[in-house]
Amino acid sequence: MVDLYEPQNVATKYPQPPFEAQQQPDPGSIFDMKPRPDHGEESYRGSGKLKGRKALITGGDSGIGRAVAIAFGREGADIALNYLPVEKEDAEETAKYAGDGGSKVVLLPGDLTDEAFNTTLVEDAVAELGGLDILVMVGGKMPTVSGIADFDTSVWNDLVALNLSSLFWLTKAAKPHFGPGASIITTSSVQGFTPTPDLVEYAVTKAGIANFTRAMAGQLAEEGIRVNGVAPGPIWTPLQPSSVPNEKIEEFGSQSPLGRPGQPVELASTYVYLASQESSYTTGETIAVTGGMPVT
């Protein structure tokens, strides 16, 4: 177990490439990844930063969403977790860790590409938690497309619905329940700022998320609602074995100055900061957590 709170060499703190070749069907599972990602299950310690808050987290079964859920729960927030029904096993384990300090955790499966479901999701979260004042949008996908000749309109439409449209649907549904002090947190990517050629469709959606964040922050500022985002670099999540070829899996993260991918737990404290009142003068920002990879 890695102790998050002891000084360590950050380049060697977590596993480094080369990694074992591995592929999974979309959406992938943490249980089949080698090595297993660290979401803070054993290492994250809360200190009450989100006590009494009520949060809806999408993509909360695994990867970044799982790490955020564990951190939020241990910081005192009650949580509604959204995930795809096929990811039930991952979500149930996430709920166990997120609730181990006494926070309430409810599971709300469903597909974010369905506009009507987004409204239902928010209403169910409000009913289960008795209100809502934090919305964290992590759920998304990352198709790899080698060239424009392989562009598929149906894949694009599904990607936009999940990665971009759901932000509008969820925010619209959640806003009537928010009061001053509420926080919305999006998840962009280093790809939204410095795209690679085989992730062009994904990169376009992530750039859109960064722009949504800044524009929506301006729209909601007078109501005391903050909107911020996180732009992860290469992070060891099920998106990798379910979305990219083995030759990239084996060297995943080696392009970062730290020479390794980040672990989901290494982003958790950034989401906690943006959700908490400690960041009360921060809005419209996207914080890069990239292992030193430039975001321009």
Residues marked active site are found at: 202
pTM, to two decimals: 0.96
Give the residue-averaged pLDDT of 115-126: 98
| Exposure of 97 in the CB half-sphere (CA atoms within 13 A) | 26
Per-residue model confidence (pLDDT) at position 26 = 83
Overall domain count for the chain: 1
Domain-located, residue 14 = no
Domain-embedded: residue 137 = yes
| The predicted structure's pLDDT at residue 1 | 65
Q: Which string of b and e fits 54-72 if b means at least 16 CB within 10 Å?
A: bbbbbbbbbbbbbbbbbbb
146: domain CATH number?
Answer: 3.40.50.720
Quick check: is 171 in a domain? yes
Query: pLDDT tens digits for 73-84?
Result: 999 999 999 999
Is 259 inside a domain boundary?
Answer: yes
For 148-192, the pLDDT digits (tens) are 998 999 999 999 999 999 999 999 999 999 999 999 999 999 999
Is 96 domain-assigned?
A: yes
282, part of any domain: yes
Q: Which one is predicted more confidently, 3 or 127?
A: 127
Q: Is residue 12 part of a domain?
A: no
pLDDT surpasses 90 at 239 = no
What does pLDDT average to over the chain? 95
Residue 295 lies in a domain: no
Host domain of residue 165? 30-289
Please choose, from the candidates 121, 96, 99, 117, the residue with its C-alpha nearest in 3D space to the C-alpha of residue 108: 121
Longest Cα pair distance anywhere in the chain, in angstroms?
Answer: 52
By percentage, how much of the chain surpasses pLDDT 70?
100
